[in-house]
Amino acid sequence: MSNDKLFVFDTTLRDGEQSPGASMTRDEKLRIAKSLENMKVDIIEAGFPIASEDDFQAVKLVAEQVQDSTICVLSRALDKDIARAGEAIKPANSGRIHTFIATSPIHMEKKLRMSPDDVLAQAVHAVQYAGKFTDNIEFSPEDAGRSDFDFLCRVLEAVIDAGAGTVNIPDTVGYNLPDQFGSLIGRLIETIPNSDKAIFSVHCHNDLGLAVANSLSAVQYGARQVECTINGLGERAGNAALEEVVMAIRTRRDKFECDVTLDATQIVGCSKLVSSITGFPVQRNKAIVGVNAFAHESGIHQDGILKNRETYEIMRAQDVGWSNNQMVLGKHSGRNAFRSHLEEIGVTFSSEEELNNAFYRFKDLADKKHEIYDEDLQALVNDSASTVQDSIRLVTLQTCTGTGEKPKATVTLSVESEEKTQVSDGAGSVDAVFKAIECIVDSGCELELYSVSNVTTGTDSQGEVTVRIRKGDHRVNGQGTDTDIIMASAKAYVNALNKILMPVAKKHPQKAV
Ligand code: KIV
Ligand code: ZN
């Protein structure tokens, strides 16, 4: 059996960000990119630079700071998109331009209003033009899963000739079935005369819940790059989940003629980071990264596991980064122990200031909570606590509640360095706190999501709060973590308000060219 490399291409920062409500700030994108780099993801699709100045700057930042993974950017098959993409990846150690145009009859006729010959010519031109900026070019025939086979072959042969080193076959609307999609890839590789000059990649959407199955089938038929996202985030029902694709390949090596070179022990940490930043919770029974993925409830199963783990487990929880619930650090741990333990679980700091800030919050937490677990540390670094640049800062917070009394909150904020205090009541303490904050800031935002989850077990656990607020079309998520969930809620709301002060307009990459 040959043992080819299977390239893992993560598009959490691009397709994942297209999930409604999952937008991320520049710094959040960088944190996720660093975590993906730590995991040894081969290619990170960092964004769609033409969409907005903010996306452009985010990609540039990622390209400057990430050394080990290739940084890819998306562009329509248009010169202005490609030139912007080329500019964004300039600082990258290794950069790639990914250009696309739709090839299905419905997209060409109804969306692009172009003839197949014009689409083919534009695809070839785009790849040639991208060659002015990099020799690492990927081309995608959008909606390939519903495209005419012969036309697809003509387009792919032509773009490979024009210099595309990777050709990606998207099932854009998640319409295909596993055997159909796998054999499509096999037939393309067999039919296209220059197919040996390019890596065949797949990009599957999950509209029928088949994204991972379709991707794996394609790998069995010869695909050597899979595009996927952490937690399966992405447009509509999402993309193929990275963690599921990777662990299926690792666990069933007997069924694949290739392997990944990824560090799977970083998966759980990265999943938590993405969930916390986007406000998309991971379903408890989600494969690999759900909290129940390795929990055995029934007596028969527990008995079996105790006798021989393999009776009911096909993977080891620690191989994907679940910790074994050991207390890892305490009140007396120093900065070096803190830094080196975080490195072990895949967290690095981009500056001493960032480390100091996190260490200060760790000490604060250790005063309240004696046993600190890996989960606590992950939550602590995921919590984008207020920074000096924030114009709104939480100064103090008191709440008062009791049987038969309306909950009341007194909040003091520093807004542009001026302290303001407000007292409000509400249906509950959180409601009262948010009303008091709104009375001070008067942001006019609408609260779209409020969710709380516990970081560890026990009543001294930290609560992790995510809020999503909207102003017009602009949505942001805010996070806050604290052993007191009212405080965590206030931090999350203030965090979201600080982000929404920087509105950005985005174009959608798959909108008509
Ligand atoms: O789903 C899709 O077709 C895409 C392409 C831009 C690759 O995301
Ligand atoms: Zn997609």
> Could you tell me where in the chain the CATH 3.30.160.270 domains are found?
392-500
CA-based end-to-end distance of the chain: 44
**What is the CATH number that goes with domain 7-278?**
3.20.20.70
Any idea how long the chain is? 513
What whole-number distance in Å separates Cα of residue 462 and Cα of residue 481? 6
Could you tell me which residues come within 8 angstroms of residue 245 by beta carbon, excluding any fewer than 6 positions away?
8, 212, 215, 216, 226, 228
Tokens 């005369």, residue located: 193
Q: How far apart are CA 383 and CA 363, in angstroms?
A: 15
**Would the CB of 151 count as within 6 Å of ligand 1?**
no
Which of the 8 DSSP states describes residue 93? S
Pocket test for ligand 1, best of 15, 73, 81, 507 (most atoms within 8 A of CB): 15
On whether the CB atoms of residues 27 and 35 are closer than 8 A, the answer is no
Question: Along the 513 residues of the chain, how does pLDDT read in single tens digits?
Answer: 457 999 999 999 999 999 888 888 898 999 999 999 999 999 999 999 999 999 999 999 999 999 999 999 999 999 999 999 999 999 999 999 999 999 999 999 999 999 999 999 999 999 999 999 999 999 999 999 999 999 999 999 999 999 999 999 999 999 999 999 999 999 999 999 999 999 999 999 999 999 999 999 999 999 999 999 999 999 999 999 999 999 999 999 999 999 999 999 999 999 999 998 898 889 989 999 998 898 876 778 778 878 888 888 899 999 999 876 566 777 888 888 888 888 877 787 878 888 898 898 888 888 888 778 877 888 888 775 555 568 899 999 999 999 999 999 999 999 999 999 999 999 999 999 999 999 999 999 999 999 898 888 788 888 889 899 998 878 888 889 999 999 999 999 999 999 887 655 455 555 533
173 CA to middle of ligand 1, Å? 9
Q: Find out whether the beta carbon of 99 lies less than 6 Å from any atom of ligand 1.
A: no
Fold of 392-500: Double Stranded RNA Binding Domain (3.30.160)
List, in sequence order, every residue forming a beta bridge with 7; answer none if it has no partner. Answer: 225
Tokens of 33: 């990119």
Q: Does residue 394 contact residue 413 with C-beta atoms inside 8 Å? A: yes
Q: Which atom from ligand 1 is nearest to the alpha carbon of 510?
A: 6
CA 174–ligand 2 middle distance (angstroms):
9
State how far the Cα of 462 lies from the Cα of 178, in Å rounded to an integer.
Answer: 42
Residue 54 near residue 26 (C-beta atoms within 8 A): yes
Ligand 1 atom index nearest CA of 509: 6
Torsion of CA 232, 234, 240, 241, to 10 degrees: -20
75 lines ligand 1 (CB under 6 A): no
Claim: this prediction has a pTM higher than 0.75: yes
- Measure 170 CA to ligand 2 centroid, in angstroms: 7
Q: Whose CA is nearest to atom 3 of ligand 1?
A: 172
* C-beta of 14 in contact with ligand 1 (< 6 A): no
CATH 3.20.20.70, the chain: domain bounds: 7-278
Nearest bound ligand to CA 142? 1
236 in the Ramachandran plot: left (φ > 0), alpha (ψ -120 to 50) or beta? Answer: left
SS3 340: helix
Is any ligand 1 atom within 6 A of the Cβ of residue 140? yes
Smallest-distance ligand from the CA of 509: 1
Which atom of ligand 1 lies at the shortest distance from residue 170's CA? 3
